[in-house]
Amino acid sequence: MRFFSSLLILGAIAYVAGFFVFLSDVTGKPPAPTRADAIVVLTGGEMRLDAATTLLEEGFGKRLLISGVDPATTKADLKQVSHGGAHFDCCTDLGFIAADTHGNAQETAQWAKTHGYRSLILVTSNYHMPRSLAELSAAMPQVRLEPYPVVPEDVDFTHWWRNPRTLRLLHSEYAKYVASLVMTRFIDPLEDNREALV
């Protein structure tokens, strides 16, 4: 009984410590953009689209995938929302299959494989970046991912501990991130091994 109690305490300490590491990653200074073969943006806000479109127009990638697009949305709609320029018409692909982050990873992996891309700039919100990197890295380990986190203006990251909405958002995303790590590092490899044995 004491052994299991100790495990629970250690697990709780590790979870809390991991949360602060997660916070450090999320609230840190965004890195400068680095050139890559192409760019992928995960839908979820105009700021993400604006950032990805700007990177495309400035030549940081040859092509842009917008993953997780609503089937009712057109390319013209997204161009207007993202203030896309000349490169948007010729060099943007829409992905309609993904319904969640895991789906984004599968959709992006197929797109990268089709085009032969070996490096991608990943654009999503800062709080969503750790989980997105975990999922996309697992789906295409051979592709180098360059994170380009976007900081939402409507989320108070400066005083997150005093803002219940921000705290809920960060903890929810951290819990999902931990679940993604468990799935991609332990559960999925086990399933692959089982399939290989069949």
pLDDT averaged per 10 residues in sequence order, the chain, 198 residues: 80 91 89 93 90 95 96 91 87 95 97 98 97 96 96 90 94 96 77 45
What pTM value is reported for the model? 0.89
Amino acid (one-letter) located at 21: V
Cα–Cα distance measured from residue 68 to residue 66, given in angstroms and rounded to the nearest whole number = 7
Sign for the CA dihedral angle at 68, 69, 75, 79 comes to: negative
Cα–Cα distance measured from residue 151 to residue 87, given in angstroms and rounded to the nearest whole number = 24
Give all domains of the chain, ordered by start, each with its CATH number. 21-154 (3.40.50.620)
